[in-house]
C-alpha cells in the first residue's frame, strides 16, 4: 500500500485556485504534505519565476514567452503574469514554514542558470531538502559539476511520444539508453525532453538519484531495472488514491505526482 509521504504535490494543484501559486504552496505545507514540486523559468532579465509553461497570456489575452518579458513588467502585463511568484518568494515561504520535513523538487525548465538557482536555494538553507529535477540533461550535468552530492532527477519519456506531444515539444532521442553530455549549456524558453527507449544508461544514470516518467508509460520492468542500483522512480500524474494504489500494486514505483488534493486526504 502506498504511503502519505510517497505522494508529491504537483505544482500545488488542488490546494488553491491557481497552480504554482504562493497560496497553493502555503496550503500544501499547512496540510503537512511531505513532498512538493514546482517549476522555474527565467525572464529575459534572468529573474526566476515559478511557472510551468514557456508562455502565458497577458491581461488582453495576448501570449508572451516568459523568456522574452522583464520582471519589471509583470504587473503591467497582468493576466497570468500578475500571479507568477518569483522563485525567491517561494524559497522564502518554504524556509519560513514549520513543515520542515517537506522535500522540495525543483524542476528547472531552463539551462545555464544553475549556479544562480543553487545559490538561491542555499541562501534559504534548503539544499538538504532539494531534489533538482529537469527534462534537460544540461541542467543535471551542470548541477553535478557544482555539487556532486546534489540529489537530482531526470524526467523522460520511456515510450515514444505521440503526435500531440511532439507538436509542442522538441523531442531528442537517446542512443541505446545513453544521453551524452550535451555540447550546449544554455537553453532558454524551450519546451523539450528526451525519449529513452527503456531505462537510462551511462554517465547520466550514474549521477542521478531519481527518474520521473509519465504514468501512462511506466511498466514493472522499467521500475525493476532502475531499482537495481537504487534509482528511485516517480510518475506523473494521479488524481485519486485508487489510481495510486493500482499503480503501486502493478509497478511498485517510489513516488506519485498528484494533481489533486484528494489523494493526500485519503492517505492522511
- Give me the average pLDDT of each 10-residue run along the chain (268 residues): 96 98 98 98 98 98 98 97 98 98 98 98 98 98 98 97 96 97 96 97 98 97 98 98 97 97 94
Q: In whole angstroms, what is the distance from residue 173 CA to residue 194 CA? A: 6
In-domain check, residue 61:
no
Residue 74 located in a structural domain: no
Three cell numbers, residue 182: 550535451
Nearest to 262, CA basis, from 242, 247, 232: 242
CA distance 183 to 152: 20
Q: Is residue 103 domain-resident?
A: yes
What pLDDT, on the 0 to 100 scale, is given for residue 80?
97
- Tell me what pLDDT residue 202 has: 97
User: d(Cα 268, Cα 233) in Å, to the nearest integer?
Assistant: 22
Q: Is residue 93 part of a domain?
A: yes
**Grid coordinates in use for 251?**
509497478
Cα–Cα distance, 188 to 66 (Å, whole number): 9
Q: For the chain, what is the domain count?
A: 1
For the chain, what is the radius of gyration of the CA atoms?
A: 18
- The residues, ordered by sequence, that sit 6+ positions from 216 with a Cβ below 8 Å of its Cβ are none
46: nearest Cα among 62, 21, 66, 74: 66
Give the pLDDT score at 261: 98
Q: Can you give the CATH number for the domain in which 169 is found?
A: 3.20.20.190
Query: Residue 19 is part of which domain span?
Result: 4-53+84-267
Residue 71 lies in a domain: no
In a domain, 39, yes or no: yes
pLDDT at position 1, please?
A: 87
Task: Report yes or no on 79 lying in a domain.
Answer: no
* 117 in any annotated domain: yes
Amino acid at each position: 500500500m502506498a504511503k502519505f509521504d510517497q505522494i508529491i504535490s504537483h505544482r500545488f494543484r488542488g490546494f488553491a485556485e491557481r497552480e504554482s501559486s504562493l497560496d497553493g504552496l502555503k496550503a500544501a505545507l499547512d496540510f503537512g504534505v511531505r513532498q512538493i514540486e514546482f517549476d522555474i523559468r527565467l525572464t529575459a532579465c534572468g529573474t526566476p519565476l515559478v511557472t510551468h509553461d514557456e508562455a502565458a497570456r497577458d491581461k488582453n489575452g495576448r501570449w508572451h514567452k516568459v523568456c522574452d518579458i522583464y520582471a519589471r513588467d509583470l504587473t503591467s502585463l497582468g493576466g497570468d503574469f500578475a500571479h507568477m511568484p518569483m522563485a525567491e518568494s517561494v524559497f522564502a515561504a518554504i524556509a519560513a514554514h514549520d513543515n520542515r520535513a517537506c522535500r522540495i523538487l525543483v524542476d528547472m525548465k531552463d539551462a545555464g542558470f544553475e549556479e544562480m538557482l543553487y545559490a538561491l536555494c542555499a541562501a534559504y538553507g534548503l539544499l538538504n531538502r532539494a531534489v533538482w529535477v529537469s527534462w534537460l540533461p544540461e541542467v543535471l550535468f551542470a548541477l553535478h559539476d557544482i555539487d556532486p552530492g546534489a540529489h537530482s532527477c531526470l524526467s523522460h519519456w520511456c515510450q515514444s511520444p505521440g503526435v500531440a506531444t511532439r507538436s509542442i515539444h522538441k523531442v531528442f532521442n537517446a542512443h541505446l539508453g545513453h544521453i551524452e553530455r550535451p555540447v550546449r549549456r544554455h537553453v532558454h524558453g524551450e519546451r523539450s525532453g528526451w525519449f529513452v527507449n527503456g531505462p537510462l544508461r551511462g554517465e547520466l544514470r550514474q549521477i542521478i538519484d531519481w527518474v520521473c516518467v509519465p504514468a501512462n508509460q511506466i511498466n514493472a520492468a522499467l521500475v525493476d531495472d532502475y531499482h537495481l542500483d537504487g534509482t528511485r522512480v516517480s510518475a506523473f500524474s494521479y488524481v485519486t488514491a485508487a489510481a495510486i494504489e493500482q499503480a503501486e500494486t502493478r509497478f511498485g514505483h517510489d513516488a506519485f505526482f498528484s494533481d489533486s488534493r484528494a489523494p493526500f486526504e485519503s492517505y492522511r
